[in-house]
């Protein structure tokens, strides 16, 4: 019997999601196996990448909204292998039913608020992230899943005011939860607590858990719905602000992120957490690259200087065999995708 996988990409109404379905399907076509997938109610950015890598034979998509995931039916063999189910992160029984029989689980689900703050953070962010992660891992243990890859975020790494400024942040750096609460960055709080729970759970129980912490995800979209990460480039190109902060932007291509998630699953030596970021680029430099490649758009005319310098290290992930594409390729493919999907006028 072929092994099966679950990609848990659960969505809560009223929130955007950081990732989407289809690329992992494409990336994992080289694995001659079957899989389960889980999404409510629409696929997000990185999950799309992951699913394209996984999709080959026995594939089940667990989703609460078939209409919004309908584009996945166009995938090869989808008629035989694509199925829709319904549950959510706070429904343990539903998660267990979805995960039962799976060899591996990719847990990508986490609510992303449309603004930095949340009116009721415990309900809107913390409970789905932390309790949801516990439910997933409890279900994995009961179902005897061999390995779980949890997609976290550099939000669980970056907010640490005590980290030496001249030292790149690596996997040993964690966001300071109390500091995050002080500045009301509840997304950082939720991602930090959820990832801490995941790795701590692995130590206390017989389950192999690896976490991947991506930076801002860019690149071409495969889903029809605009996600938060894609707004980065679009906001610079559509004249939303004449003046922008000249801060550092850590970025990774969605296709390279999907490869990283797959590496974390496939490599027996993968352990602990992995930062996944290809470049750190100043906003002004990013805009100059965009202008040189796509000159006919309305870009910010000036930038406000920001002193903070961001340094990230993905060396641990590179030691695992991870490689990433040129930044210019990610920009070109993303903008071309926006033009073709009607998000940008093509000049």
DSSP 169-224: B-TT----HHHHHHTT-HHHHHHHHHHHHHHHHHHHTT-EEEEEEE-EEES---SS
Measured N-to-C along each axis, helices 186-204 and 132-142 cross at an angle, to the nearest 10 degrees, of: 20
Beta bridge partners of 214: 276
Neighbours of 272 (CB within 10 A): 13
17, 169, 191, 316: the active-site residue: 191
CB-based burial, 201-235: b 16+ in 10 Å, e otherwise: bbeeeebbbbbbbbbbbbbbbbbeeebbbbebbbe
Burial string for 314-339 (b: 16+ CB within 10 Å, else e) reads: bebbeebebebeebeebbbbbbebbe
Cα separation of 221 and 45, whole Å? 7
In degrees, rounded to 5, the angle at the alpha carbon of residue 46 between the alpha carbons of residues 210 and 199 is 20
Separation between Cα atoms, residue 189 and residue 340, nearest integer Å: 37
Which two three-digit tokens encode residue 339?
A: 């033009």
**Rounded CA gap, 82 and 39, in Å?**
12
Q: How many CB atoms lie within 10 A of CB 182?
A: 10
Would you call 191 a catalytic residue per the annotation? yes
- Taking every pair of Cα atoms in the chain, the longest distance, rounded to a whole number of angstroms, is 60
Residues involved in catalysis? 191
């Amino acid at each position: 019997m072929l092994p099966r996988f679950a990609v848990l990409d659960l969505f809560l109404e009223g929130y955007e999601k950081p990732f989407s379905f289809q690329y992992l399907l494409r990336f994992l076509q080289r694995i001659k196996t079957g899989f389960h997938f889980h999404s409510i109610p629409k696929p997000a950015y990185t999950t799309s990448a992951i699913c394209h890598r996984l999709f080959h034979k026995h594939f089940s998509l667990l989703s609460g909204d078939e209409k919004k995931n309908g584009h996945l039916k166009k995938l090869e063999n989808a008629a035989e292998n694509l199925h829709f189910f319904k549950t959510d992160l706070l429904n343990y029984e539903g998660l267990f039913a979805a995960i039962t029989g799976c060899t591996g689980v990719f847990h990508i689900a986490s609510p992303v608020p449309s603004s930095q703050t949340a009116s009721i953070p415990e309900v809107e962010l913390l409970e789905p992230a932390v309790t949801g992660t516990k439910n997933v891992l409890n279900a994995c243990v009961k179902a005897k899943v061999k390995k779980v890859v949890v997609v976290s975020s550099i939000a669980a790494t970056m907010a640490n005011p005590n980290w030496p400024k001249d030292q790149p942040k690596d996997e040993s750096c964690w966001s300071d939860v109390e500091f995050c609460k002080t500045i009301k960055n509840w997304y950082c709080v939720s991602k930090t607590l959820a990832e801490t729970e995941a790795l701590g759970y692995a130590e206390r129980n017989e389950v192999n858990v690896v976490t991947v912490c991506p930076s801002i995800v860019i690149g071409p979209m495969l889903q029809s719905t605009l996600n938060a990460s894609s707004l980065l480039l679009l906001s610079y190109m559509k004249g939303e602000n004449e003046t922008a902060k000249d801060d550092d932007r850590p970025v990774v291509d969605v296709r390279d992120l999907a490869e990283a998630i797959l590496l974390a699953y496939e490599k027996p030596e993968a352990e602990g957490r992995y930062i996944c970021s290809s470049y750190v680029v100043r906003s002004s430099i990013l805009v100059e690259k965009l202008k040189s490649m796509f000159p006919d758009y309305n870009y910010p005319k000036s930038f406000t200087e920001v002193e903070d310098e961001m340094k990230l290290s993905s060396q641990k992930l590179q030691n695992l065999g991870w490689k990433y594409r040129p930044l210019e390729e990610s920009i070109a493919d993303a903008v071309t995708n926006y033009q073709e999907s009607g998000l940008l006028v093509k000049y």
